[in-house]
Chains A and B, each alone.
Chain A
Amino acid sequence: MEPAFETDTETEVAMEGFREERAEMLQDITKRKIAETALLLTPGLDIAALATFAARGETFVGKKLDARERLNYAAIAGFLGLFYVLQLSGMEKEAIAARGIAATLGTMEFGPDLLEKASALARERMPSAASFMEKTGDFIKDKQSLIEDVRRSMIELATNDPGLISLNLNEHA
């Protein structure tokens, strides 16, 4: 049985708990979609750890996020992670290994052009993920400041800890 809340503040605290749970759900969902896409398009590439790490609740400046920010963060990290996997999918494994996430995400200009490019890539290479990607892109498109935070966070994390992106060239050669 759900507890009763006597004040607006207590209600707000309860709502925050459900939002927090949804932020974690979205993080898990995007992680699975990235992993499924990578497994199909680029076997051996694992960046799901990076997306999860990036979305776990702290920005690159160490600011603690509330539940709404965490959900937005998870959506953005998921979108960028999927886009990264899609971009790499047409490349040789040796080229992928040489091309870091900083080179890919660092030059990305988020805006209508990128959304269109991401959507076209998904439709071409992973149709089952295209709808999710388009709707997530639509959800995050007005969150430019947070997108920059997440992008820089992902680049910094990948630079400081390359193990967050692993590519096994031998196992899937």
Chain B
Amino acid sequence: MNTRKAKLHETIERLIAIHEDAAELRYWESIFDNLSDQEQEMVLSNLEHELAAVKEAQ
């Protein structure tokens, strides 16, 4: 597993733990390899920022 995908997996697991939609996030993980580099970066950045925002709120 490459670094970016490992980061994605970890971020998704943490978001699911705080009750984000598991089905949607598993879908993103499943199609991640089908995305371009730029699309992968955008998806990962979105999820990391969501996780940071929620953690800050808690």
Structural contact, A14 and B31, CB atoms closer than 8 A: no
Known: A4-B56, A29-B35. A135 touches B30 (CB 8 A): yes
Tell me whether B50 is interfacial, beta carbon within 8 Å: yes
Q: For residue B42, which residues in chain A have a CB less than 8 angstroms away from its CB?
A: 25
**Which residue of B is nearest A7, CB measured?**
B57
Tell me whether B23 is interfacial, beta carbon within 8 Å: yes
Structural contact, B34 and A2, CB atoms closer than 8 A: no
Q: Which of B20, B34, B46, B57 contacts A132 (CB 8 A)?
A: B34
CA A131 – CA B27 in complex, angstroms?
12
Structural contact, B43 and A25, CB atoms closer than 8 A: yes
Give the size range of B's interface with the partner: 20 to 34
CB distance from B17 to the nearest CB of A (A): 14
**Which residue of B is nearest A29, CB measured?**
B39
Q: For residue A6, which residues in chain B have a CB less than 8 angstroms away from its CB?
A: 57
CB distance from B20 to the nearest CB of A (A): 7
**Which residue of B is nearest A133, CB measured?**
B34
CB distance from A142 to the nearest CB of B (A): 9
CA A136 – CA B27 in complex, angstroms?
7
CA A10 – CA B24 in complex, angstroms?
21
User: Interface size of A by Cβ–Cβ distance < 8 Å?
Assistant: 24
CB distance from A141 to the nearest CB of B (A): 11
Q: Which of B27, B52, B58 contacts A135 (CB 8 A)?
A: B27
Q: Which of B21, B23, B43, B53 contacts A2 (CB 8 A)?
A: B53
Structural contact, A22 and B53, CB atoms closer than 8 A: no
Q: For residue B50, which residues in chain A have a CB less than 8 angstroms away from its CB?
A: 14-15, 18
CB distance from A4 to the nearest CB of B (A): 5
Structural contact, A14 and B57, CB atoms closer than 8 A: yes
Query: 7 new A-B pairs (CB below 8 Å) besides A15-B53, A18-B47?
Result: A2-B52, A3-B56, A14-B57, A18-B49, A22-B24, A29-B39, A131-B33
**A-B CB contact pairs (8 Å), 8 listed:** A2-B49, A2-B52, A22-B46, A25-B39, A71-B24, A132-B31, A139-B23, A139-B30
